[in-house]
Structure 1
């Protein structure tokens, strides 16, 4: 199994422009993500996929592998699909979030292991929800998993709803999972799902993975115990710097 790790990196983030190039204790965020990904033993290679020359030049400066892609992609999946056409010979692709500078290589390996099952088309990670704050946060997508470790549905709302139980007691009566936004695709599947049209479920929830489910694709799920720490807005930088100092 030959797996490529791709780090999509856009400069024009709505909430945090220039995010991949912010300085985190002497290294840019994109460099820190890249270096963490390179530690994953499951990956045959790692490449940054960007549409911005500033990011391209920054990656070249630390001698990283980088490729220019179209500025018209709507998602990281679409950007990965373009790279997949240019870098052939891989059996699967891992889409590594470019805003998680502390990503654990073990999480990448955990996701990659899903493709040891030849029936796996798509894969992602989830983590047990530990607090009501997470459970009721609409920015934290929840996921329901079937007995075959496949995602049934993702939602920004609490799913499943527990009837006849007070909301504050939900966690005491059921195990809820949140979605960790790292994806894996079998190469042949990536070429297909990247061409799927926007569906009603994705339009409603604003969650890309619902497009795949709505079109009948199965998403294999692996459960991680490690917490992810993403930088979505400038206020998140302090938390990452604090972790780097530990």
Structure 2
């Protein structure tokens, strides 16, 4: 099974312009993500997909692989597909590794790779929610799934709504899971989903993966014990101090 890890890294960001080049303990964010991804033994290769010369050159000058992509992509999924088309080798799967998680655990990448058996269309990771703050935080995406570990729905609201108990007791009576934003796509499926129109559920929740579910694609989930820390604003860099120590 040939698996390509792609790190989408665009330059523009309304909340944190050029965050891919932010300095984190003497290395840029995108370089740290790339180096972490290289440690994932299940990946055949790793490439950064960017829309800016500075990010491209940052990876190339340190011996890495990068490819230039268009600036007008609406999602990392679309950028991954363009990057895939520019590869010389043929791959069975692509894993979309978030470019704003500089300390992503390579075992998370290996875990999602282990579910890729040729039948799996799409894959992602989930983690048990253990705080009320996360459960009711709309920025923490929740997911419910069936007995075959396939996602039923993703939402910014707590799922399920446990009407039998007060909200303070929900975590005591049900296991709730958050979505970890790393995706695996079978390469033929990746091409198909980039041609889909924005769906009604996606508009409501502002979650791209609902477009895939609404169009009949299946997303397999695997549970990880490792957390992920994404950087959305300059202030979020403070979260990384424990990792740097």
Partner of 1:186: 186
Preserved contact between residue 127 and residue 223 of structure 1 (Cα < 8 Å): yes
Partner of 1:114: 115
**Cα distance in 2 for residues equivalent to 1:28 and 1:63:** 14
Aligned residues: 244
Partner of 2:146: 146
Offset, 1:182: 0.2
TM-score, structure 1 normalization: 0.98
Partner of 1:196: 196
Q: Tell me the alpha carbon deviations over residues 97-155 of structure 1, each in whole angstroms, 9 at most, x when there is no partner.
A: 00000000000000011112x32000000000000000000000000010000000000
**CA RMSD in angstroms, aligned pairs only:** 0.8
**Cα distance in 2 for residues equivalent to 1:149 and 1:242:** 33
Preserved contact between residue 24 and residue 241 of structure 1 (Cα < 8 Å): no
Offset, 1:86: 1.4
**Cα distance in 2 for residues equivalent to 1:42 and 1:241:** 29
Q: Tell me the alpha carbon deviations over residues 51-92 of structure 1, each in whole angstroms, 9 at most, x when there is no partner.
A: 011111111121210000011100000000111111141000
Partner of 1:96: 97
> Is 1:212 aligned to 2:212, yes or no?
yes
Partner of 2:58: 58
Give the stretch that moved more between structures: 223-232 or 212-221: 223-232
Partner of 2:242: 242
Partner of 1:230: 230
Q: Secondary structure at the match of 2:116?
A: helix
Partner of 2:33: 33
5+ unaligned residues in a row in structure 1: which ranges?
none
Instruction: Show structure 1 runs of 4+ deviating over 2 A.
Output: none
**Cα distance in 1 for residues equivalent to 2:23 and 2:63:** 17
Offset, 1:226: 0.5
Q: Secondary structure at the match of 2:244?
A: helix
Give the stretch that moved more between structures: 151-160 or 54-63: 54-63
Mapping for residues 41-56 of structure 1, pairs under 5 Å: 41-56=41-56
